[in-house]
Amino acid sequence: MKKTFIILIVFAANLYSDDKFSLKAHSAIVKASMNYINPELKMEVNKYIDFILTGAGEYKSNSQYSEDSTKDLFDEIYTCKPISSIEHFYDPYYPNYIPFWNKCKPPYIKSNAINRAKYIYDFVIKYYLKNEKYKAYYYLGRVLHILADLSVPAHAHYTLHPFWPFDDRYERFHKELMLKGEYFNNIEIISYEKFEDYFINIAKETYRYPSDYEDGYSADGKYYYNNRGKVDSNDGFNSTLDNESCNLISERLIPLSISYTTGLLEFFHKDVMRRINEKN
């Protein structure tokens, strides 16, 4: 499996639903997941919706404060560039950190999506327990952004995709894609006891699908896909994704991303409730 340094380009999509709102992909996935979380959590998330969506993706005029951008709304976490973008990748079969020197203080030289998500999640818990929930939900949005990135095959494969016209075909496809109604079918709440399992397991599912110039792969041998959207047992094609493949990937991985986002929101809610009860 090739390892490459990468610059992240945000994949974008609009979301059509009953209320006809239009959001970038990351914010849209978080918004869609709210249809499946428990009523108590949904009520609270709605109170802080601007904060969680600002952290998750380009939302309204606050795009510069998303996990893909250069600023932190509350100046608590490091946002050194390009390290923050590079940390949105995780190969579940070769889960090595990316060695990278940067100007952060202190320098942060061991990086991947799980590492960064854990780092930010600590701030989520810290501020929730301090009853600064607007901060907690902002940082939770940034964590959910990283989780959604791992539903993009290029992020699990470490496939090079810097900028147009060299960006990943699947991510580019989302810039023009309206999330279709069938993407909201077969949504389930994914439940794990450990925080990192959400990231590891979504990456394993995503790995089954191809990115530009790299086939999907599955360690269990059940199925994986080539760049023409077909189940394939041969590795090593050398072309970019076509529309058929992008459609297949979207139909499978957007619902997966919504399911995992729903599950991680529920995990967060149980986690903070448990911590609050332990304090009392």
Nearest CA-CA partner of 9 in 175, 127, 132: 175
| Residue 128 belongs to domain spanning | 20-58+66-278
Residue 12 lies in a domain: no
Write out the chain's pLDDT in tens, 280 residues.
443 333 332 333 332 233 333 456 788 889 999 999 999 999 999 999 999 999 998 677 667 888 888 789 999 987 766 556 677 889 998 877 665 555 555 555 567 899 889 999 999 999 999 999 999 999 999 999 999 999 999 889 887 665 556 677 777 676 555 456 667 777 989 999 999 999 999 999 999 888 877 778 787 777 677 666 565 555 444 456 777 778 878 888 889 999 999 999 999 999 999 999 998 8
* 256: CB partners within 8 A, 6+ apart: 151, 202, 205, 206
Residue 164 lies in a domain: yes
Residue 30 lies in a domain: yes
Nearest CA-CA partner of 33 in 270, 267, 260, 273: 260
Residue 97 lies in a domain: yes
Residue 1 lies in a domain: no
Residue 11 lies in a domain: no
* 94: CB partners within 8 A, 6+ apart: 1, 3
Residue 261 lies in a domain: yes
Distance between CA atoms of residues 141 and 147, nearest Å: 10
**Burial group, residue 95, by CB count within 10 angstroms (0-12, 13-18, 19+):** middle
Answer whether 244's CB lies under 8 Å from 228's CB.
yes
* 87: CB partners within 8 A, 6+ apart: 98, 111, 112, 113, 115, 116, 146
Beta-strand relationship, 14-15 and 178-179: parallel
Distance between CA atoms of residues 236 and 238, nearest Å: 7
Query: Number of folded domains in the chain?
Result: 1
Domain of residue 77, CATH code: 1.10.575.10
* 228: CB partners within 8 A, 6+ apart: 242, 244, 245
